[in-house]
Amino acid sequence: MGFRAAASLIVLALVAACATNPVTGRRELSFMSEAQEISIGKESDPQIKQEMGIYNDPELQRYVSDIGQRMAKISERPNLPWTFQVVDVPAVNAFAVPGGFIYITRGIMPFLDNEAELAGVLGHEIGHVTARHSAQQYTRQITGGVGLLALQIFVPAARPFGDLAGQSLGVLFLRYGRDDELQADELGARYESTLGWDPAGVPAFLATLGRLDEAAGDRKGVPNWLSTHPEPLARVKDIQPTVARLKTGRTDFSTNREDFIRRIDGIVYGDNPEQGIVRGAAFLHPVLRFRLDFPEGWEIQNTPSQVAAKAPGADVFMVLRLVENPQGRNLQEIAVNSMRDAGFRAVEGAPARIDNLDAFIGVYQGQADNGATFGARAAHIAYDQKVYIVVGIAPSQLFRQADGAISASIRTFRSISAAEAENIRPSRVDLYVVRAGDTWASIAERGGGVIKPATLAVMNNSAPGTQPTPGTRVKIVVSG
């Protein structure tokens, strides 16, 4: 709640004023000064890092940051406190926060085919900041009452539970209109071409996004670039005249493909075990050494602050969180207090043992702003100086029906051995030279079948259904 409240206060303190747009030079209504943009960025940055995690690869971070900084320096707003960070998220995405804070996901990296595409994505996000789209959009969403999405999910007063699954990753994915998107594409192409990268990197990656949309399936339910940057294929067409103009009379553009793919060789693909990993209906955490089995068929979302699962076709959720408990306080007290803070009152509860660990299992009731009531069953489990909170939440009329699956899932919590933990390894990107007779399907199979052939083709700048070219070096995904 702190995040949203603070952001609202900042906005309430603003006075609508006219500001000059740095890109167009036009005067326009703005609710935000540059200082306010910067302060919002500085306030959001730690929250984003906490929610998403920073990908642990200093060399890759430096590489991405260098490319971003070079473009920011030649942009219309070189003096913003620009930062470029790779967040540890498997979804394909990139986003900008007012003030010059740019984030690109680990998950987008394998789908970029060269450095010009990377520069194009970073340049596009820089463009949203320099043209003040992010500030305007932020103003619009805040004043429109949508606000930033709070990071706490337990608070029924803050928002209906129905939105929970779609929001757990969506810290502040701003939605832009098509005009803003085209302008950001144009700015991105211009920034990168000024520095010698091929501006065709922008439409090339948009084409990949379009194919990814068509080949979707592995990534459903995860907010991604497409949900905030719609219609990539229409944009491929829109940006072509700009690219043609920028390329006129020049033949010296680089894509730096070989260096780029060498740098993403070995990058984690899909879930990172350091943040826990989803295997079917199970969630395993090799660092914290536990396992929980969610009900079969539920859609699971893993973020650094929590794991959420949603029943198919119903607003029934389970959430796993943990709190530190170094003093070993009384479990029942922790349980009742934490649920009360989340807006639930205790109906019944009793001490229990789960996997030979001390636990307190209770049933609770809560009410949302709109008057809707919810039932919840929560287990608070003491394990390794922490309390693991496993909660199932359903609208009151569904609770009795859902409670069987929730109860059974809660009971599956267990510790895992060092040997089991050792065997949980991430899938990674690897490089492979295509041989005669290879197909995308055979190459996908070679890596252990962790990626669909269609997705592998898209990752290599190719349409699904095409054949890989013998002798070319391609990106593949190998199981851990």
* Choice between 41 and 362, CB closer to Zn ion: 41
Q: How far is the CB of 240 from Zn ion (least distance, A)?
A: 17
Min dist. Cβ of residue 180 to Zn ion (A)? 7
Q: Are the C-beta atoms of residues 213 and 219 closer than 8 Å to each other?
A: no
Q: How far apart are CA 76 and CA 80, in angstroms?
A: 10
CB of 306 to Zn ion, least distance (A): 27
Binding status of residue 263 toward Zn ion by CB under 5 A = no
Helix (H, G, I), strand (E, B) or coil at 189: helix
In this structure, what token pair is assigned to residue 364?
């609770």
Q: Kindly tell me which of 55 and 205 has the beta carbon lying closer to Zn ion.
A: 205
Nearer to Zn ion, 77 or 229 (CB): 229
Smaller CB separation from Zn ion, 206 or 300? 206
Spatial contact of 166 and 175, defined as CB atoms under 8 Å apart = no
- The yes or no reply on residue 235 touching Zn ion (CB under 5 A) is no
State the minimum distance, in angstroms, from the CB of residue 225 to Zn ion. 8
The residues in 167-186 that bind Zn ion, with binding defined as CB under 5 A, are 184
Residue 173 or 253 with smaller CB distance to Zn ion: 173
User: Whole-number minimum distance, CB 205 to Zn ion, in Å?
Assistant: 12
Residue 310 within binding range of Zn ion, rule CB under 5 A: no
The contacts found for 402-411 with CB under 8 angstroms, 24 or more apart, are 402/311, 402/314, 402/316, 403/375, 403/377, 405/295, 405/311, 406/295, 406/316, 406/318, 406/377, 407/377, 408/295, 409/292, 409/293, 409/294, 409/295, 409/318, 410/354, 410/361, 410/377, 410/379, 411/354
- Quick check: 190 binds Zn ion (CB under 5 A)? no
Tell me which stretch binds Zn ion (CB under 5 A): 198-206, 228-236, 268-276, 424-432: 228-236
Of the ranges 43-51, 227-235, 249-257, 337-345, which one interacts with Zn ion (CB under 5 A)? Answer: 227-235
Rounded Cα distance between 401 and 398, Å, is: 5
Q: Is residue 132 at the binding interface for Zn ion, with CB under 5 A as the rule?
A: no
Q: Residue 468 and residue 441: Cα distance in Å, rounded?
A: 10
Question: What number of other Cβ atoms are within 10 A of residue 311's Cβ?
Answer: 21
User: Out of 77, 132, 229, 285, which residue is the one contacting Zn ion (CB under 5 A)?
Assistant: 229
- Cβ atoms within 10 Å, residue 372: 16
Q: Is 211 in the site for Zn ion (CB under 5 A)?
A: no
Q: Contact residues for Zn ion (CB under 5 A)? A: 184, 229
